[in-house]
């Protein structure tokens, strides 16, 4: 009962400000272990848990003297490395919820992620066996679904492009380990994340300011997107919901075509930029497999997330470019 008491609370949206999320702070704070706290998704997740009144132990690569260190009230940074579990498993074992939002972008990325998954699931198993059930939230990607020209939900069979071909196996490893240990496991598959100064949409905003926007392919493909604050709110909701388990998609259901997104951004540029469509074969020469991910045509639905009360506050990139541009400029100025 003491453990379940941590999950009493609710989240409320202020519809006058879609970006504002208000939490009932009367609940007993959870102890959250978070990887990737200085990354795009991880930093948004960190903010959401802190706003909700929870205590976050954040795995960081550098000491407190680093400008990237997220030290502030409610956050305890610990220095460690994903590839070296000994540097963080003790801290993780003291927490109720383990959120894996980090990703090593080097050629070692998949193998490092596997090390982290196995280490965190081992922590969850040991602590759960000792009588305190641990929740693990693993960050995957909607791109594992491959092309989906008709709506797909969380029960769809993954068909990942090469860039994320390893992710379904890691999802399965998390779910299987939890099934055997009794821990609670959740997989979050975000769409294209937007908001702030990072991600594909921020890249387009910068490209528009620079005067040349490059679109991989013909731009007719649809991106399943999600506002960064709405995505982060889903993590908090999942952690608070004791019955939630399994796979959850995070998309705004806007189904916007890339060309429409590019056109909306171009209209807000001080000087209208040139827009160039780059054939996929040509684009592969520079970003490599990432180009294939950008050309996926996906219509992704999130029924399981909606069923637990989650509801995105923003439902469109094209309809919120002015807001996103202001967020982008503010984030760049603050960096």
The whole-angstrom separation of Cα 224 and Cα 212 is 24
| DSSP structure string for 126-176 | HHHHTT---EEEEE--GGGG--EEEEE-TTSPP---GGGTTHHHHHHHHHH
Predicted confidence at residue 64, as pLDDT, reads 55
- Answer whether residue 321 is part of any domain: no
Predicted confidence at residue 63, as pLDDT, reads 62
Predicted confidence at residue 8, as pLDDT, reads 36
Predicted confidence at residue 25, as pLDDT, reads 37
Are 54 and 29 within 8 A, CB to CB?
Answer: yes
90 Cβ contact list (under 8 Å, min separation 6): none
- Answer whether residue 39 is part of any domain: yes
Are 41 and 105 within 8 A, CB to CB?
Answer: no
The whole-angstrom separation of Cα 88 and Cα 253 is 37
Are 46 and 37 within 8 A, CB to CB?
Answer: yes
pLDDT digits (tens, 9 = 90+) for 75-117: 999 999 999 999 999 999 999 999 999 998 888 999 999 999 9
Name the residue with higher pLDDT: 314 or 14: 314
- Answer whether residue 219 is part of any domain: no
- Answer whether residue 101 is part of any domain: yes
Q: Which percentage of the chain shows pLDDT scores above 90? A: 83
Predicted confidence at residue 312, as pLDDT, reads 97
- Answer whether residue 335 is part of any domain: no
- Answer whether residue 111 is part of any domain: yes
Give me the residues paired with residue 84 across strands: 81
pLDDT class for 287, splitting at 50, 70, 90?
Answer: confident
Q: Encoding tokens for residue 209?
A: 């300011």
Domain count, the chain: 1
| H or E element that contains 264 | helix 258-268
Are 317 and 201 within 8 A, CB to CB?
Answer: yes
- CATH code at position 175: 3.40.50.720
Predicted confidence at residue 24, as pLDDT, reads 45
How many residues belong to the chain? 335
C-beta neighbour count of 169 within 10 angstroms: 13
Spell 197-228 as b/e; 16+ CB within 10 A means b: bbbbbbebbebbbeeebbbbbebebbbbbbbb
Write out the residue range of the structural domain in which residue 24 sits.
4-194+224-253+298-314
Give me the residues paired with residue 13 across strands: 21
pLDDT digits (tens, 9 = 90+) for 315-326: 999 999 999 999
Predicted confidence at residue 4, as pLDDT, reads 37
Name the DSSP letter for residue 4: G
- Answer whether residue 218 is part of any domain: no
45 Cβ contact list (under 8 Å, min separation 6): 34, 36, 37, 99, 101, 231, 232, 235
pLDDT digits (tens, 9 = 90+) for 132-166: 999 999 999 999 999 999 999 999 999 999 999 99
Q: What is the mean pLDDT of residues 41-70?
A: 85
> Is the pLDDT assigned to residue 182 strictly greater than 80?
yes
The chain-wide mean pLDDT, for the chain, equals 91
- Answer whether residue 199 is part of any domain: no
Q: Encoding tokens for residue 128?
A: 């759960």
């Amino acid at each position: 009962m003491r453990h379940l008491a941590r999950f009493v609370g609710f989240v409320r949206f202020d519809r006058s400000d879609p970006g504002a999320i208000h939490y009932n702070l009367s609940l007993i704070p959870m102890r959250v272990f978070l990887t990737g706290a200085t990354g795009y998704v991880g930093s948004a997740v960190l903010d959401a848990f802190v706003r909700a009144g929870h205590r976050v132990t954040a795995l960081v690569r550098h000491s407190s003297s680093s400008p990237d260190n997220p030290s502030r009230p409610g956050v305890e940074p610990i220095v460690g490395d994903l590839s070296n579990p000994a540097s963080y498993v003790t801290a993780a074992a003291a927490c109720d919820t383990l959120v894996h939002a980090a990703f090593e972008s080097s050629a070692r990325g998949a193998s490092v992620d596997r090390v982290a998954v196995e280490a965190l699931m081992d922590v969850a198993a040991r602590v759960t066996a000792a009588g305190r059930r641990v929740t693990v939230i693993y960050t995957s990607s909607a791109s594992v679904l491959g092309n989906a020209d008709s709506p797909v939900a969380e029960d769809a069979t993954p068909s990942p492009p090469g860039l994320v071909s390893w992710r379904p196996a890691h999802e399965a490893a998390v779910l299987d380990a939890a099934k055997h240990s009794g821990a609670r496991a959740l997989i979050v598959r975000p769409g294209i994340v937007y908001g702030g100064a990072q991600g594909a949409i921020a890249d387009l905003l910068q490209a528009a300011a620079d005067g040349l926007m490059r679109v991989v392919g013909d731009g007719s493909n649809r991106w399943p997107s999600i506002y960064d604050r709405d995505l982060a709110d889903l993590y908090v909701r999942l952690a608070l919901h004791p019955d939630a388990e399994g796979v959850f998609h995070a998309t705004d259901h806007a189904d916007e075509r890339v060309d429409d997104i590019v056109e909306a951004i171009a209209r807000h540029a001080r000087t209208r930029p040139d827009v160039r469509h780059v054939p996929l074969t040509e684009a592969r020469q520079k970003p490599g497999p990432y180009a294939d991910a950008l050309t996926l045509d996906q219509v992704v639905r999130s029924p399981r997330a909606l069923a637990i009360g989650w509801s995105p506050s923003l439902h469109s990139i094209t309809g919120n470019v002015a807001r996103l541009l202001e967020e982008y400029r503010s984030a760049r100025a603050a960096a």
